[in-house]
Amino acid sequence: MIKRYANPKIAAIFSDEHKLELWQETELAVIGAMEDFQFIRTGIFEEIGEILRMFPIDLEWWEKRDEEIHHDLNAFLDERLRHLDTKYHKFFHKNITSYDTEEPAFGRMLTEATDVIMTLTNDLEETLINLAIKYRYTIMNARTHGQEAELQSFGARCLTWLAELRMAKVSLNHSAINLTYSKLSGAIGKYGSLDPRVEEEALDFLGFSPFYGSTQIMPRVLYAPLGQSLCNMVSVLSKIGLDIRLGARSGRPILQEPFKKKQKGSSAMPHKKNTIRTEQLAGMATMARGYMMMISENIVTWEERAIEQSSVERVAWPDLFHVTAHALKVISGVLKELTVYTDNMLLEVHESRGVYASSEVKEWLKTHLGNSGLTHEDIYRIVQIAGFNVFEPEQEMMLIRETNCGSTQEALGLLRRIGPASDKRKVVSIEKFIPQAKLRVSSSLDISQDQVDVYNEALKKLFKNKQLKKSWKELFTPGFLLKNEDTLYKNILEI
Amino acid sequence: MIKRYANPKIAAIFSDEHKLELWQETELAVIGAMEDFQFIRTGIFEEIGEILRMFPIDLEWWEKRDEEIHHDLNAFLDERLRHLDTKYHKFFHKNITSYDTEEPAFGRMLTEATDVIMTLTNDLEETLINLAIKYRYTIMNARTHGQEAELQSFGARCLTWLAELRMAKVSLNHSAINLTYSKLSGAIGKYGSLDPRVEEEALDFLGFSPFYGSTQIMPRVLYAPLGQSLCNMVSVLSKIGLDIRLGARSGRPILQEPFKKKQKGSSAMPHKKNTIRTEQLAGMATMARGYMMMISENIVTWEERAIEQSSVERVAWPDLFHVTAHALKVISGVLKELTVYTDNMLLEVHESRGVYASSEVKEWLKTHLGNSGLTHEDIYRIVQIAGFNVFEPEQEMMLIRETNCGSTQEALGLLRRIGPASDKRKVVSIEKFIPQAKLRVSSSLDISQDQVDVYNEALKKLFKNKQLKKSWKELFTPGFLLKNEDTLYKNILEI
Amino acid sequence: MIKRYANPKIAAIFSDEHKLELWQETELAVIGAMEDFQFIRTGIFEEIGEILRMFPIDLEWWEKRDEEIHHDLNAFLDERLRHLDTKYHKFFHKNITSYDTEEPAFGRMLTEATDVIMTLTNDLEETLINLAIKYRYTIMNARTHGQEAELQSFGARCLTWLAELRMAKVSLNHSAINLTYSKLSGAIGKYGSLDPRVEEEALDFLGFSPFYGSTQIMPRVLYAPLGQSLCNMVSVLSKIGLDIRLGARSGRPILQEPFKKKQKGSSAMPHKKNTIRTEQLAGMATMARGYMMMISENIVTWEERAIEQSSVERVAWPDLFHVTAHALKVISGVLKELTVYTDNMLLEVHESRGVYASSEVKEWLKTHLGNSGLTHEDIYRIVQIAGFNVFEPEQEMMLIRETNCGSTQEALGLLRRIGPASDKRKVVSIEKFIPQAKLRVSSSLDISQDQVDVYNEALKKLFKNKQLKKSWKELFTPGFLLKNEDTLYKNILEI
Amino acid sequence: MIKRYANPKIAAIFSDEHKLELWQETELAVIGAMEDFQFIRTGIFEEIGEILRMFPIDLEWWEKRDEEIHHDLNAFLDERLRHLDTKYHKFFHKNITSYDTEEPAFGRMLTEATDVIMTLTNDLEETLINLAIKYRYTIMNARTHGQEAELQSFGARCLTWLAELRMAKVSLNHSAINLTYSKLSGAIGKYGSLDPRVEEEALDFLGFSPFYGSTQIMPRVLYAPLGQSLCNMVSVLSKIGLDIRLGARSGRPILQEPFKKKQKGSSAMPHKKNTIRTEQLAGMATMARGYMMMISENIVTWEERAIEQSSVERVAWPDLFHVTAHALKVISGVLKELTVYTDNMLLEVHESRGVYASSEVKEWLKTHLGNSGLTHEDIYRIVQIAGFNVFEPEQEMMLIRETNCGSTQEALGLLRRIGPASDKRKVVSIEKFIPQAKLRVSSSLDISQDQVDVYNEALKKLFKNKQLKKSWKELFTPGFLLKNEDTLYKNILEI
């Protein structure tokens, strides 16, 4: 992975240096286990171990040897054996094959890298919990299909992010179970040379249980879910980033990712505060999908093994972990310094003209207009008409909308009119509009004047009853609309 | 493909009925060519052709036979042969193998389906041209990173959509060139039985040139680019849809996909006009990528052929064409009845406070402050500060922003304050703000009061020169900012 | 999915008919739960339920309505409501949104389809167990990199297939846990209208627990692992198919998929028994990857929901299940009637000239040549030379190999010589070759005559010791080489 | 890309160093063009150019600056400007935006990298042509579905590889056409600041034509086909590798990738010559697909641009080029030193018992048994029975096949019998078998003894005619079977 997106811990885990150390650990574990079962004489394990630890692995020597013999594990053996007296040779890499050495090492690397991800995930979880608590009563319009929907707190939105993240974590944990298995079962997985008890003991020492039924290698169906879980994790992060990015659209931003004090948004347009971090998360998700795809293809391999998957794994695993770690860092950084424009959230609510309660309004009208002869459909249409009417522009605006400019000069003219015209707008909520019973025919709907008259009559009659006023007004209050968010806080945060 | 997204023309092209007709055409073409080269006696072609046309292919009979012998082409031969006297048998499917019959048919189906796509694409192109012309002088904020950038006409945005579409079409045309090749070169592509001249003649009759170097089948690397081009096409459509969908976000929508007069947006929230069509386009692009991936995998096949690719092609090709055709229909429908809120576009421009000209402002200041001792960096920062200052909220708004609510009751209180507070806002453009030389320290930037003072001094001095006023004001006019859009109209539409 | 690959049970589960039944079940469950909490009067549930069951859902009516209002769930509500007296309308779909109705139904469909897959998987597992037992002592060459490796029983290979399958099943089971959650939390997932207790009760009735933290929809990160597990499953099946297909290569096939007695392999070449079923499995895996990719992209969706994922899910989920079910059926069919050419397996072992024991030979030589001054490297090279020598052709064959034909006539000449030349070949095993101490310089290796002489000397000396003969010969026996397969049978089959 | 698979030329092209050089070239080209149109005074271009060339770009300084301001292009400008007197600042990066600088540089890098690929491809093409010529008369069994099919020369197979490669190259060339366009059209692609004539001139200088209709960036639909073509190329290479790998399966290998004289095949099994290079090609194709997918997703981007695609491109493009270059090197290396076991090819032909001519036999019988009352179906079945009969084992072999061993001891017994049994085998070709008219009922076919008798009768009668003998025998000769390969040589190699 290029430096820009690389994570140092992940890089260290997948370094050649670390890999060769892990190979050595496997070799020693096998020697130790053989000694325990007295297949070799007592003392060998200590003697060899001591010598090898005295001579750290020489990476350069190893690389050169690998180029010569085209086999990295054999090159490693050669590098190690040169420090050992010939009398020890027969005990080293005895009865096992290259992939007996490599598979536990590979499993360890995946486990260690998964731990790095888990730590970053836990940190992100903490951040989201803090946001959810901090913004528990900061109200905003939820949006479905990009349209204002019901009211929610920004804290509750953070809870939905948290819940997704936790599910991604659950998957990751499931996938990690497979990493507890490994193999030392030889060139075809049938223990041609090694006693199965030695495998069990050596693997136990390395932190694994034997996987019964491997070929020369562990079946890759064990690892694919890990790659898929990482990809899903990055997708979740990308979704959180997307919501922030959508909230940061200029005009009236409600959210904004951190913008460093010396940062420049654009070389041409100095006013820009671009959403480059959250956009990058979309890129990370794209990459994660690509690497996931590569890893998923690895399952199909020939007979007792072929090496198609090896090159892919050398690249795709570290890069997928880098991408995941980077994405976690980016979103954590964004969330920790997130700017929340609570005023703009309120303004959005205000300008949404009460339609955030349209669902409750519909139910309320169903209850109170139940005996009016109006059907479910009629009541739906009443709220629909009202919801459309309150957004219909006033005359001056309508004129502007209907003007099709024929020149930039005309466009300038309109631009000069729009400010004053806009200042005259009145923001009328359906809270006031519906009781006034002044629904108008809407050009967007196929509902006749006659029908609208019937609706208005019904409304007029209904709202004569002053007793209903209180319950009507309550429909539009945060206290009423957000009352059940407590359930989410209780169940998700246990508070 | 499920009915909801299926295109009837595509369905007909990939129907068994049509496939079997095309198989028959191949068989007859080979007979015809053999006759031409006098490998068989004159008259056979006419005789067999007449009989076969008298007995339309019985699909049911064929299906049943296929189930029995597990070979659909052999089943087809059996179906046809039952109508022919034994004396004709030796002339039918003579010297060729199943895939000699199938490949030209397959190529024909791809060609026909590509034609359907081309027709739909041409229609969409027309629609985009019309929009570009209609909205040539409708101004709007361009957006980069979701932020207001420079000014453009909506017509010019349509031109960028058109330009992308055309590039997708160019690719599609390139890919279609490969469809002009086919093969009749036998079981392993080496003309074991068939004379190469017969291939050339028969293919010519069917509208193809021979591909020299096939195996039993045409190499799938010929077809992958077509699948990839279709996928790219759908991605372009999805991008157009995305822009519309982003423009349709409520608050102040500038675009809106058609909403039928009887349509319902949501079962719960009657006020909703959801962007379901443009969202569906994103789904279509996702599907197209999946099918493209399937088709791309088909290139790798064993030796002189194996049949891995067959099942994939039975599904992925028609479904990819269905998805492409459907996406074209959806976006065409959306664009033909697109609602363009020109008033809101203007409002957005107005409320963007002149920063749409920030790039020109920066260049203008560079020119006129050249001798003031200020660096390029200083001038950049001047425009940046101004661009940030004009969006900084007034006091009441700031108080609201800084209030962290502790209850829904408090939230309600703020909600009641936000309307009036908002009414008091003044929209100040940098057009006025910069000449006033009242830049303020911004909390978003690491620029000291002293530095800001220096900037203000320079501005004050500069704007004393009344002569500059005219060129300054011009910077903010559509006439100035859009002057080069003509180049696009000229080069893209040739008008 | 096209008929050819469709599974009837999967088709039924994802049919509109079934979906609408499940929608009705959700609606009724909500009414029932509301009644339990006395939000509506007792009896409503029974009354409505009775009426609705009297009038089965009219699919045609529904489809027509959907076309009109562009909202399939609203169309469903309309269809149902027309059978209910207006007085019931307010109780139907009360306080919930479309996706409250749809999500549990969707979850149910996924669960039911997963059950179908599980049943097929269990059947396949049974088949593999039977094969493993049947062929416990049928010996064959394992192959790594397509090369003969150590000896194994065919039964043990079946165990490796079984072990992979079981891991795929474990993943599938993990993924299925997520299907136990669903939601009725309203238009934005914050229970705007519905009391959370009603959700809990209604979901419980439908077989789910509430997922706290949904938006309008369940986060798709819950479902992605299911799609990924299905894909992994198909990949495993494809791997099993691949091994069979590799074993079926002509020349000396060791395995062969069933060939029906009336089947035709090729329209041109009557002798063919093509591996069309196992090849099809590769196609199924390709498709599964494509659908999996589509499903994985669905995780990223806008804010409290948008509908990008819907079209994808209508297609990708049923099709992925069809593909998985079909692949399971195909591989089960292949395995149940698999032809195992045990004679050819033996012949392969025989002709592999004892190299299947090369690993044991190397270890044995290390032990017994320990004091000869030869290094680990030397012993490796001894076995390598021997392994190469025994395959080097005899003179006549070598002459043929070295002849580069200049015409088809010459080729015919060689073809006539090859039979007799081949008849004279002697198959010499390293079991005999190494004790003879007649290693030769190999053109494939950079080992000098001098060095080879040293090796031969050492071997000569060693094999003078007649006492070693028995342990040497034992190295090459199935009894010795397969001794640890018992461990696999014990741990995998618990026998 | 990790060192193991990286190509030095590709690495240099995508290095930061080279990128910054190209950025500088763009900046200078713009200055030059401005001077040409007298937007700036004559001489500026030379003056600035001279200074900048005097001070090579300081990568370290640049990196540090980038970390501070989070904008790599602005950091580059700062690095350059520090060497220029303030009086030049206004001319540098004048009227353009970051991506005006970056896009031509990006296009240049893609072009240069494509050239590297083309050179490698041409070299591979040459190698394949040489092989095709060298092995023009080396006969082998073609294989369809892994089964022996008709006869071909190995040279002709090389021609099919060549033909595929050339089609991949055609696609690559088509894709490269898109690289001839670029843009300098400013922050939103509408030439807000820059005169379109300057763009045209500057781009011309850099080797591009203007793309009319860009946004801030070139639409990514222009580049996706390049990524897809590269992926297709690697897939073709992987297919060639696959054929070699299949040919290298032990038992009777016909092809073998080079094995270095010091190479080790396996740490456990010294006799192994593994197909690690051709297997690696499969891994390369998997990676290429992943990167291609990433690049294909980049088409969909927001409005006038967002930066999702940037991170993906920084990784996926160089890595895809590395993978392609590496794959080309690997396959070229394999083919240049490919071992072709012509003796084994012949042996395979010999042991395939004449079925390689089954298609011709069928046609020949159709012609000569035309008046015997046998149908096309009958004749098909005659050849099918014969083709099956000649492979049916003799008694001893059959006994072995039917023995199901109950212990490893029994297995050893069988293993000892198989050698001698095999030595007694007779290889009978259908060339001899069919004229003998001794077809037997086959357990694999549903054809009765009576029917077989009828067939034998017809054959007996036919082959009484001695005159037919010559044409019958000719059916099985290379001269007859390969006669049309000349067509391929002529059309593909023009020889």
Average pLDDT, stretch B203-225?
A: 98
Q: Which segments of chain C belong to CATH 1.20.200.10?
A: 5-260+272-345
| pLDDT score, position D193 | 83
Q: Which amino acid is at B79?
A: E
CB atoms B343 and A271 under 8 Å: no
Q: Which residues of C touch D264 (CB under 8 A)?
A: 380, 384
Asked if the C-beta of B484 comes within 8 angstroms of chain D's C-beta atoms, the answer is yes
* Range from A311-315, A445-449, B173-177, B279-283 carrying the lowest mean pLDDT: A445-449
Domain B5-259+272-345 has CATH 1.20.200.10: yes
Band of pLDDT at residue B193, cut at 50, 70 and 90? confident
- C-alpha–C-alpha distance, residues B266 and B272, integer Å: 6
| pLDDT score, position D341 | 95
Q: Does residue D495 carry a pLDDT above 90? A: no
For D43-155, strand residue ranges (E) read 139-144, 147-153
Domain D8-345 has CATH 3.90.79.10: no
CB atoms B306 and C280 under 8 Å: no
* Average model confidence (pLDDT) across chain C: 94
Residue of C nearest to B15 (CA): C2
Residue whose structure tokens are 């740490």: D267
Q: What is the pLDDT of residues D315-339, one digit of tens each?
A: 999 999 999 999 999 999 999 999 9
Q: Does residue A424 carry a pLDDT above 90? A: no
User: CB-CB: which of D348, D393, D407 is closest to C137?
Assistant: D407
What are the DSSP calls for C57-73, one per residue?
--HHHHHHHHHHHS-HH
- C-alpha–C-alpha distance, residues A316 and A4, integer Å: 17
* Average model confidence (pLDDT) across chain D: 94
- C-alpha–C-alpha distance, residues B96 and B100, integer Å: 6
- C-alpha–C-alpha distance, residues D230 and D227, integer Å: 5
Average pLDDT, stretch B26-44?
A: 96
The total of other beta-carbon atoms located within 10 Å of residue D11's CB is 16
- The phi, psi pair for A147, rounded to 5°, reads -100, 150
Band of pLDDT at residue C272, cut at 50, 70 and 90? confident
Q: Which residues does residue B151 pair with via DSSP β-bridges, in sequence order?
A: B141
CA angle C310, C313, C318 (to 5 degrees): 150
Q: Does residue D281 carry a pLDDT above 80? A: yes
| pLDDT score, position A348 | 95
Q: Does residue D122 carry a pLDDT above 90? A: yes
**Crossing angle, helix A276-297 and helix C224-247, to 10 degrees?**
30
User: What does the H/E/C string look like for chain A?
Assistant: CCHHHCCHHHHHHCCHHHHHHHHHHHHHHHHHHHHHCCCCCCCHHHHHHHHHHHCCCCHHHHHHHHHHHCCHHHHHHHHHHCCCCHHHHCCCCCCCCHHHHHHHHHHHHHHHHHHHHHHHHHHHHHHHHHHHHHCCCCEEEEEECCEEEEEEEHHHHHHHHHHHHHHHHHHHHHHHHHHHEECCCCCCCCCCCCCHHHHHHHHHHHCCEECCCCCCCCCHHHCHHHHHHHHHHHHHHHHHHHHHHHHCCCCCCCEECCCCCCCCCCCCCCCCCCCHHHHHHHHHHHHHHHHHHHHHHCCCCCCCCCCHHHHHHHHHHHHHHHHHHHHHHHHHHHHHCCEECHHHHHHHHHHCCCHHHHHHHHHHHHHHCCCCCCCHHHHHHHHHHHHHHCCCCCHHHHHHHHCCCCCHHHHHHHHHHHHHHHHCCCCCCHHHHHHHCCCCCCCCCCCCHHHHHHHHHHHHHHHHCCCHHHHHHHCCCHHHHCCCHHHHHHHHHCC
Chains A–B, number of C-beta pairs less than 8 Å apart: 247
**C-alpha distances out from residue D112 to A488, D180, D300, Å:** 56, 12, 26
Q: Which fold has domain A8-261+268-345?
A: Fumarase C; Chain A, domain 2 (1.20.200)
Name the nearest CA neighbour of D433 among D336, D494, D354. D354
| pLDDT score, position C325 | 98
Q: Which residues of D touch B228 (CB under 8 A)?
A: 224-225, 228, 296
Asked if the C-beta of A163 comes within 8 angstroms of chain B's C-beta atoms, the answer is no
- C-alpha–C-alpha distance, residues C268 and B162, integer Å: 50
Q: What is the pLDDT of residues D451-479, one digit of tens each?
A: 999 999 999 999 999 999 999 999 999 99
| pLDDT score, position D444 | 86
CB atoms B280 and C308 under 8 Å: yes
- C-alpha–C-alpha distance, residues B421 and B391, integer Å: 15
Residue A8 burial class via C-beta count within 10 angstroms: exposed 0-12, middle 13-18, buried 19 and up: exposed
- C-alpha–C-alpha distance, residues B293 and B113, integer Å: 19
- Give B493's DSSP letter: I
Band of pLDDT at residue D370, cut at 50, 70 and 90? confident
Q: Does residue C275 carry a pLDDT above 90? A: yes
Band of pLDDT at residue C319, cut at 50, 70 and 90? very high
| pLDDT score, position C198 | 97
Name the nearest CA neighbour of B106 among B142, B62, B72, B61. B72
Kindly report the nearest CA distance between residue A90 and chain C, in angstroms: 6
| pLDDT score, position A377 | 86
- Kind and range of the H or E run holding D200: helix D196-206
Count Cβ neighbours within 10 Å for each residue of B322-357 and write b for 16 or more, e otherwise.
bbbbbbbebbbebbeebbbbbbbbbbbbbbbbbbbb
Count Cβ neighbours within 10 Å for each residue of B429-463 and write b for 16 or more, e otherwise.
bbbebbbebebebbebbebeeebbebbbebbeebb
CB atoms B287 and C311 under 8 Å: yes
Q: What is the pLDDT of residues A28-82, one digit of tens each?
A: 999 999 999 999 999 999 999 999 999 999 999 999 999 888 889 999 999 999 9
For C134-262, strand residue ranges (E) read 139-144, 147-153, 181-182, 209-210, 255-256
CB atoms B242 and D300 under 8 Å: yes
Q: What is the pLDDT of residues B393-422, one digit of tens each?
A: 888 989 999 999 999 999 999 999 999 988
Band of pLDDT at residue D263, cut at 50, 70 and 90? confident
Q: Which residues of C touch A376 (CB under 8 A)?
A: 81, 86, 89-90, 92
Q: What is the CA radius of gyration of chain B?
A: 33
Q: What is the pLDDT of residues B457-475, one digit of tens each?
A: 999 999 999 999 999 999 9
Q: Which segments of chain A belong to CATH 1.20.200.10?
A: 8-261+268-345
Band of pLDDT at residue D1, cut at 50, 70 and 90? very high
Residue A482 burial class via C-beta count within 10 angstroms: exposed 0-12, middle 13-18, buried 19 and up: buried
- Kind and range of the H or E run holding B141: strand B139-144
| pLDDT score, position A248 | 96
Label the pairing between strands C147-153 and D181-182: unpaired
Side-chain-side CA neighbours of C304 within 13 Å: the count stands at 27
User: CB-CB: which of A187, A267, A309 is closest to D266?
Assistant: A187
Listed by number, the residues of chain B in 235-264 with a beta carbon closer than 8 Å to a beta carbon of chain D are 235-236, 238-239, 242-243, 246
CB atoms A243 and C81 under 8 Å: no
Q: Does residue B259 carry a pLDDT above 90? A: no
Kindly report the nearest CA distance between residue D424 and chain B, in angstroms: 32
Residue A389, C-beta contacts closer than 8 angstroms, at least 6 positions apart: A433, A439, A440, A442
Name the nearest CA neighbour of A330 among A378, A370, A277. A277
What pTM was computed for the model?
0.97
Listed by number, the residues of chain D in 316-375 with a beta carbon closer than 8 Å to a beta carbon of chain A are 316, 319
Q: What is the pLDDT of residues C384-396, one digit of tens each?
A: 999 999 999 888 9
Q: Is B28 helix (H, G, I), strand (E, B) or coil?
A: helix
- C-alpha–C-alpha distance, residues C171 and A178, integer Å: 9
Q: What is the pLDDT of residues D52-91, one digit of tens each?
A: 999 999 999 999 999 888 889 999 999 999 999 988 988 9
Q: Does residue D267 carry a pLDDT above 80? A: no
Q: Which residues of A touch B434 (CB under 8 A)?
A: none
Phi-psi region of D274 (alpha: psi -120 to 50; beta: other; left: phi over 0): beta
Q: What is the pLDDT of residues D15-33, one digit of tens each?
A: 999 999 999 999 999 999 9
Q: Which residues of D touch A69 (CB under 8 A)?
A: 260, 262-264
Q: Of C300 and A192, which is predicted with more confidence?
A: C300
| pLDDT score, position C149 | 93
Residue B413, C-beta contacts closer than 8 angstroms, at least 6 positions apart: none
Expressed in angstroms, the distance from the first to the final Cα of chain B is: 41
Q: Does residue A463 carry a pLDDT above 90? A: yes
Identify the residue among C255, C271, C275, C489 best suited for mutation to test binding to D, counting D beta carbons within 10 A and taking the highest.
Answer: C271
Q: Does residue B370 carry a pLDDT above 80? A: no
User: CB-CB: which of C73, C275, C280 is closest to B267?
Assistant: C73
Q: Of B290 and A261, which is predicted with more confidence?
A: B290
* Average model confidence (pLDDT) across chain A: 94
Q: Which amino acid is at C196?
A: P
User: What does the H/E/C string look like for B216-265?
Assistant: CCCCHHHCHHHHHHHHHHHHHHHHHHHHHHHHCCCCCCCEECCCCCCCCC
Domain C5-260+272-345 has CATH 1.20.200.10: yes
| pLDDT score, position B361 | 94
**C-alpha distances out from residue D330 to D1, D286, D333, Å:** 16, 15, 5
Name the nearest CA neighbour of B325 among B291, B296, B352, B293. B291
Q: Does residue B264 carry a pLDDT above 80? A: no
Q: Which segments of chain D belong to CATH 1.20.200.10?
A: 8-345
Q: Which residues does residue A148 pair with via DSSP β-bridges, in sequence order?
A: A143
The total of other beta-carbon atoms located within 10 Å of residue B68's CB is 14
Could you tell me if B159 and B132 are in contact, meaning their C-beta atoms sit under 8 angstroms apart?
yes
Q: Does residue C10 carry a pLDDT above 80? A: yes
- C-alpha–C-alpha distance, residues A203 and A201, integer Å: 6
